[in-house]
Structure 1
Amino acid sequence: MLTILVVDDEKLERKGIRFLLNRRSEEMEILEAANGKAACEILQHRAVDIMLTDIKMPFMDGIELVSVAHKLQPNLEMVIFSGYGEFEYAKKAMASGVSNYVLKPVDPAEFENTLNFLVERITERRNEAQRSQWNQDSLENYFLFRYLCQGNDDLLNKISGKINIDRWNQIRGLLLIESEDNFFEESEEVFIQKLTEYSKQKLSFLNLAQNQELCVLFGVCEQKVFATDLAEWMNHTFGNRFYVAVGQPVTDRSELPDRFQMLESLIENKFYQKETRVFLPDHVAEDTGSEQFLDETISRMMENIRMDDMTHLWEHFRILKNGMGEMSSYSQIYTRFLFSNLVKEFFTHQHQDRKKLETAVQKVYEMQSVQEVISLVETLIQNMEERLAANNDGARNEVAQAKSYIYEHYSEDISVEKLSELVYLSPGYFSYIFKKETGDTVSRFIRNYRMEQAKKLLSDTSMKIVQICKETGFSNVSYFCKNFREYCGCSPEQYRKGGMTDAQTETVLS
């Protein structure tokens, strides 16, 4: 929208100019002032795009007004109305920053041409400012993503002063939002706009994949409540099923990489807890020391064992270890029953000797302290981890097979479920071994490979951007370009012209 200020001491003249302005198609707000002094009052409090002013007015004439106005708002476009006898005044005004002048009586065609010229200049300036902001935001997101993944303090030292990382100090929380489809490729902009309006909080967003968005919280809030409300709102507003992982509160930017890694681990719980939509750190019963706490924690550990999910098995063991009270605070029969089931799961899942199983179960029923139980479970986890490590070649082969599929089919829709089915593993376990082997989640690995292929096509071919978008597995060109900027630090067009190559990125960092 344009804001236009009409300054003239003749009400009839102002009415005539307003009439001409209202004939135009642009959405605009028209302000009026009867003299230069009143105009200055408006300019001190309102941003104005175009000022149309007469020369001869009481209190402050047009010449003095344009000089003051230029200091108040340097980008203000100014047009001065002058009669034939005031031509010297008009020339003087032009030297003071006036964009153009229109002779009185005003000719509608001349006025229209003048406005067209100014609107075009304003539009181009806004577009350039927007492009500049996009580039700056993309560069900041590019380095934020690198910092979240690498946790490299040297990176902070190198980019300090080159991009604005001060706002990272204001981050107070992270939420990882994942959809069951490629929702964010088609609807990211609408999602961000509606969520920002809904939350009424200062938020920022970083797209991680076509189905993942990182929401950055700058205000202090009860994140569990916010995430629960957010999950309900998303499902109601968009009709999609979403998962939300909630990290621990952030007090210092040095904590960001750890918080991010925790989120990526938490979101994997979607494979094991089908009905859960919000995943929290230590996501078990809050009443530690109760039988419900024991039941829920051990049930999750048994599920982890069945899935060979060592990451979450260790996490739930830590919760168990920290949350258990004294043996005397539980029902002795029920507690031993739960732990004997856990021990059985270890042995039966790994097809171990039945006599060893019976011996271990007997130990459970003979133990008198929490520490004895915890030590036994920890030993069993360590043994399981060692056996899985011994079979690591099999896992490497499965990951290699999945990677080969990605390399050949990256232009197609690829999901964790499809890849895990390909190598005959559960989605949860496949996701676990893939990240352990590659250092990346499946979604991030696919996205990174697609972007590397896009870089090659930009460098080695003359294919249009829209063709490269489709060739690399994207269906939305604007989403592809935004992702490319955040991945490479520049737009596809700039990259094709040689902007922000890998060598130039290192120059930014040096």
Structure 2
Amino acid sequence: MLRSYRDDFIKKCRSNDRYCTLVLYCREKDAAAVSDMVLFGVSLVVAGKGGEDRKQKNAAALIEELEHKRSIAAELKLLRLENDSYRSVNILKELIQSEDGALSEATHDFKAKEFNGKCVTLILILASEPALSGAENRLMKMLLKFKYAEFFCLNISADRELLFAVSDKIPYERNLRAFGEKMRRGIRLELGCDSTVLISIPSQNGVDLISAYKKFDMLEESRFFLKEGDVLVDRVAYTQKSSADENVETILMQVYEDIRFREFRKAAEGVKRTVKRIEQEGSMSNIYVRHIFIEILSRLSQNSDVMTTNENMEAAKYILTVPDIWSIEESVVALLEKAEKGKKNSYANDSTIVIDKVIAIIRSEYKNTSLTMEYIAQKVFLSPNYLSAMFRRVKGESINSFIKNYRLERAKELLKNSNIKVKDIASLVGFASDGYFATVFRKAEGISAIEYREQNSKRY
């Protein structure tokens, strides 16, 4: 199927004398196919210049050169957008903008963006599994990824002709024609050049978005869109020009922080403020609003055990299908309140386990001068602020104070039971300098370390 699409596409584009860029997304197990398709996509740009002999020579040279860069090509599996989008972008840029060999043939065109009016960009998406059914759903899935478009140096024609093959189940030719008119209205996306892509969103099929969200892990990465007039515009640009003191974006950032630090009651209040602000602005698209709550749901599932995986999926489907925003608000607030109650019920047990781990880390690594609260928080997978509050609540002192006192106890043992020099003891128990150790010791004991040794060594 992959080869059939590729050959058909190459044939059509070359017969029309068009430059082309081909990008493929699919599952990690299909990484080899991804590499192959992207390499051919880049080769089309190179091979699309000059006579037929030169085209073939350029394409062959390109493939030969890239075969020597297997480590780079293998990393193209990141096009699946599982985690590190910036790394995948850099890989593509290295492939496209390389100054070496055959790739240099394409460099100028990509940098200068001087393609002619016949230029067509095709994004071919083959899901490799029947997670989504119907071409419109696949178009929506593509939308979720389109924030990466500008990074892939996409260009479209002067008359905004953009062709998509959006399904591996529906005949190729019919797909392109069926979406011909829809491409001219709907979402407005800037690609970092003078061209604008217009596509539509068939929101009635929104229930299937959850499959795309889950499959491509887009909850964290997707960019927000909202409706302004008759078109949807980039949420980031809208936020920058908003004159409101507290817009949806700023409220959401606080909600995300509250969830991260497990302040679920505060997060619930933030959700209510978000809904109120959405009503006041009155210009946000249905898909953007639902994306907000899917994002909140995702962060909640990452920071609490309030839901099982199946319950999380059901909640997400509910968000995508329920007809009004108030029902969504009610369900999300209820989940946050449930998480708050669960946090209180399990706090004692959870805290004891965490604090025991923290103390074990301190006891084993107190000699390390780089032992800090931030380091320990990373080891127990909690935020520094949250861990600090938990430790103080359970132990009655800060982590830094506990570390300092533990080091002092170890230092006193060495002062009493060894002849090690005081300055060496300071470094042995983790103090950064003997001067700081002397200051801390005198403040804690009321006497110097030397005096402490003189007074206590007589007993042994």
User: TM-score normalised to the size of structure 1?
Assistant: 0.32
Considering Cα pairs closer than 8 Å and 6+ residues apart, tell me whether 1 or 2 has the greater RCO.
1
User: TM-score normalised to the size of structure 2?
Assistant: 0.35
